[in-house]
């Protein structure tokens, strides 16, 4: 895998994690824990 592909994968994963964090706040996950 070329270095450019690796960087693109890291950027895509970072954006996906940021979107998930923005859609699911930490408070919601804390409230659902027993």
Please report the pLDDT score of residue 22 as a whole number.
Answer: 82
The Cα 31–Cα 5 span in angstroms is 38
**Span 18-30, pLDDT tens digits:** 988 887 766 666 6
29/5 Cα distance (integer angstroms): 33
What pTM does this model have? Answer: 0.56
């Amino acid at each position: 895998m070329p270095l450019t592909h690796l960087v693109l994968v890291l950027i895509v994963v970072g954006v996906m994690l940021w979107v998930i964090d923005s859609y699911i706040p930490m408070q919601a996950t804390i409230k659902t824990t027993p």
